[in-house]
Each structure stands twice: as C-alpha cells, then as structure tokens.
C-alpha cells in the first residue's frame, strides 16, 4: 500500500488595526519568504475577500457593520483554510478597494503553496459558538501595532485625496469613527498573536 504525502503549507496570520500597515507588512513578508526560499511558493490572501458582498450586507441590515465579525462569511473562510491546510487547491472571492465590494465572477486561485500569509483585521477574532477558529490553522501569528496618533495620521493620509475631493463633507466623518470602533475591537485580539510589531 502506497501512502500519498500531502503538502501542508506553513500558514502565517497577520492582523492589526485599520491603517496600521498589515498589507504592507504582509507584502514585505511575502517578498522576504520568496527571496529566502526561492523554490517555494508563497501566497498572500486578505480576509477582505471573505466579506459578504454589499448586497448581502444590505439584505441582512448590517452594511454599517462591514469589517466587523458578522460581516464575514466565516464558514467559507474556515473551509478555505481547511482545504489549504490539507494540501488542496481552492478558488476564493476577490475584494476590490476601488468599488468596496466583492468583484462578481473574479476569483483568486490558491494552489498548494508552501507558505500562506493570511492578512486581515479579523484573523485572530474568534466568533461565538464556533468549534473551530482561524487561529487553529496558523503556524505563526503576527500582530502589527502602532500608536493611536500614528494610525489616525496614516488613515487620514490614505484618504486625504478622497477627503479633498469631498471638501471635508461631514458625511465622510462617520467612516473614520466607524474605523475607530474596529480599531478598538481588533486591538482586543492582539494578545492572541505569537509576536507583535510596533
């Protein structure tokens, strides 16, 4: 009887507050791993792709909770991690920051990576009544941290063009306050990370 060997990837979870540099850190980590292990396949996935589409959030009455745990398709995300951890291939939805929604018909194909970086504000959050958590799949976890003043500055710089175009429209300010709530929520999970930067 012949035993088939499954490629089990090394999965790294990267989390932190809104605008703290999770994506930049994850891309740098991906580049570092690719250069250090040139024969290895290194994939990067953001949990944004597992947000429910805006129409689903509207139908559920939770569009204003986008980015909070209930706005993610957790069964889909956990299924993705399970398939990847067990050596399978999978296609996942793609989120666009240009349209702020899941792109209909567009997927990202993940095929047996040696390393998988999973980046998102929610990667250490454990939904209530779940028997399985994302962190159960991680071999290494990293929390990106910074001072609140720095995060606020980076967030505002990121959206400065948008704010200029809107001429400081008061309707945009609730977005910043909503992200402050998410930042407080995500900082409560930083103790779950193995390592913290910042």
4-28 residue pLDDT tens: 445 789 999 999 887 778 899 999 9
pLDDT attached to residue 1: 43
pLDDT attached to residue 97: 84
Asked, for residue 3, whether it belongs to a domain, the answer is no
Contact 121, 186 (CB under 8 A): yes
pLDDT band at 172 (very low <50, low <70, confident <90, very high): very low
pLDDT attached to residue 179: 54
Asked, for residue 118, whether it belongs to a domain, the answer is yes
Which one is predicted more confidently, 37 or 68? 37
How far apart CA 60 and CA 71 sit, in angstroms, is 9
pLDDT band at 198 (very low <50, low <70, confident <90, very high): low
- Cα dihedral 119, 122, 123, 129, rounded to 10, equals -160
Task: Determine the number of helices (DSSP H) and then strands (DSSP E) in the chain.
Answer: 6, 7
Asked, for residue 50, whether it belongs to a domain, the answer is yes
pLDDT attached to residue 103: 96
Whether residue 135 is predicted with pLDDT greater than 80 in this model: the reply is yes
Asked, for residue 138, whether it belongs to a domain, the answer is yes
How far apart CA 94 and CA 50 sit, in angstroms, is 8
Whether residue 170 is predicted with pLDDT greater than 60 in this model: the reply is no
Asked, for residue 1, whether it belongs to a domain, the answer is no
Burial grade of 48 (CB within 10 A; 0-12, 13-18, 19 or more): buried
| Mean predicted confidence (pLDDT) in 94-110 | 94
Which one is predicted more confidently, 52 or 19? 52
Q: Strand, coil or helix: what is 6?
A: coil
* pLDDT tens for each residue of 40-49: 999 999 999 9
* pLDDT tens for each residue of 148-157: 776 666 666 7
The count of structural domains within the chain is 1
- Give the structural domain span for 77: 10-197
- CATH at 19: 3.40.50.300
How far apart CA 149 and CA 93 sit, in angstroms, is 33
Tokens 């507050």 found at: 17
Asked, for residue 4, whether it belongs to a domain, the answer is no
Residue 28 to residues 13, 44, 112, 115: CA-CA distances in angstroms?
Answer: 14, 11, 21, 14
């Amino acid at each position: 009887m012949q035993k088939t060997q499954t490629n089990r990837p090394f999965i790294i979870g990267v989390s932190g507050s809104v605008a703290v540099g999770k994506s930049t850190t994850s891309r740098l980590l991906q580049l570092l791993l690719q250069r250090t292990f040139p024969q290895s396949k290194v994939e990067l996935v953001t949990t944004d792709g597992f947000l429910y589409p805006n129409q689903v959030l509207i139908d559920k009455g939770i569009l204003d909770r986008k980015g909070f745990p209930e706005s993610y398709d957790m069964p889909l995300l956990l299924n993705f991690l399970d398939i990847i951890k067990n050596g399978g291939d999978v296609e996942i939805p793609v989120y666009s920051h240009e349209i702020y929604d899941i792109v209909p018909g567009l997927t990202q194909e993940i095929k047996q990576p040696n390393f998988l970086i999973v980046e998102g504000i929610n990667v250490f959050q454990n939904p209530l009544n779940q028997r399985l958590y994302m962190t159960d799949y991680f071999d290494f976890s990293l929390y990106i941290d910074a001072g609140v003043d720095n995060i606020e500055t980076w967030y505002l710089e990121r959206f400065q063009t948008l704010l200029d175009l809107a001429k400081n429209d008061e309707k945009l300010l609730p977005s910043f306050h909503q992200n402050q709530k998410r930042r407080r929520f995500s900082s409560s999970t930083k103790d779950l990370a193995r390592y913290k930067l910042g």
